[in-house]
Amino acid sequence: MDATLRQLTAYAAVARATSFTAAAARLGVSQSSLSRAVADLERQVGAQLLERDTRNVQLTAAGAEALRIAEQILSAHRAGMKELDRFLLGESGTVAVATLPSVAAVLLPQVISGFRTDRPRVAVRLLDGLERAVLNRVLSGDADFAITTVGVPPERLEHRPLVRDRFVAVLREDHPLAARDEVGWADLALEPFLAVGRDSSVRRLTDAAFGQVDAHAVPAAEAGSVATVGGLVAAGLGVSALPALVLPLLGTGPFVFRPLVDPVVDRRLDIALRARRTLPRVTEHFLETLEDFRAQGRDLPPGVSWA
């Protein structure tokens, strides 16, 4: 016993109109078609649903129950189709973004806010982690795209430069170097250096910068999170160098920041997508919002600029 949608549609229309002819007009099909469809349905469920003499149509008890049920099913179908449609149009769904903690905390909030006023039915998921984890999220499909640094670009990802994020010297306010207008990497190399963990993309860049000025890259201490580095600097244990975007994550403290030169080091944050993939419409919309921000030259924290 399986009733087709066609049968249920026909039956519901007839039962609601209590008339084959009227229902046929409303549906834009022939009366005979409805007559057959209803007869088929009755045969399939094995019960008479409509009591018809040549002049009137009325529902039996089973018919009333069947109407209720048919409308439930049809409504579920209609709602489902509409929901799918909305999803395909990018009006609902979820966009999952994998990013570094600094991007998630500093750059994205305003983007998400703008996006959600346009598309309130779309949920945004932030998956934050370090570079490797972030890229894996994209490769595995957990995330729709990533905003992250990219050291060795994996083959199956496509990149679009997004912002440049300049390294600055992080000092306690009473540190001698704080008196300077700008600081060189070679100057930093003479101080106890407080580095972030080895699997951070920031670490790779600081190591490289010290390499360029022929300095040893052995840190005085190493911390997993930027907030911890902030605590160490505040305690006077040394100095650090961090991209401008992560500075808000240091927390509060007696910090001063000075431009870092010789060389000037930027980390580039890219949008990373799986190559040769058509994106869900919601993802496209999110990226368009991001692009709008760039095109409008929206304010960024000092030291951060659109790429």
Partner DNA sequence: TCTGTCCATGCGGTCTCCGCATCAATCGGC
Partner DNA sequence: GCCGATTGATGCGGAGACCGCATGGACAGA
User: Is residue 53 a contact point for DNA (CB under 7 A)?
Assistant: yes
Stretch that binds DNA, among 48-56, 101-109, 138-146, 155-163 (CB under 7 A): 48-56
| Residue 136 touches which of DNA, a copy of itself, none (Cβ within 5-8 Å per kind) | none
The C-alpha angle 286, 287, 293, rounded to 5 degrees, equals 95
Q: Tell me the closest approach of the beta carbon of residue 64 to DNA, in angstroms.
A: 17
If binding is defined by CB under 8 A, does position 70 make contact with a copy of itself?
yes
* Binder among 30, 72, 110, 113 for a copy of itself (CB under 8 A): 72
Which one of 17, 45, 112, 220 is in contact with a copy of itself (CB under 8 A)? Answer: 45
| Greatest Cα-to-Cα distance within the chain, rounded to the nearest angstrom | 103
Q: Which is nearer to DNA, 58 or 212 (CB)?
A: 58
Residues 273-302 within binding reach of a copy of itself (CB under 8 A) = 278, 280, 283
Please provide residue 71's backbone torsions phi and psi, each rounded to the nearest 5 degrees: -65, -35
Fill in the per-residue mask, 246 to 285: x = in contact with DNA (CB under 7 A), - = not in contact: ----------------------------------------
Structure tokens at 94: 């979820």
Q: List % helix, strand, coil for the chain (3-state, nearest 5).
A: 45, 25, 30
Return all residues near 195 (Cβ < 8 A) that are at least 6 apart. Answer: 203, 206, 219, 221, 222, 223, 229, 240
Residue 12, interface with DNA (CB under 7 A)?
no
Residues forming beta bridges with residue 268, ordered by sequence position? 164
Q: By CB under 8 A, is residue 307 in contact with a copy of itself?
A: no
Residues 240-279, interacting with a copy of itself (CB under 8 A): 278
3-state secondary structure labels for all residues of 131-167: HHHHHHHHHHCCCCEEEECCCCCCCCEEEEEEEEEEE
Number of residues that bind a copy of itself (CB under 8 A): 32
What is the sign, positive or negative, of the torsion defined by CA atoms of 201, 207, 208, 210? positive
The residues of the shown chain that bind DNA, judged by CB under 7 A, are 4, 6, 19-22, 28-33, 35-40, 50, 52-55, 57
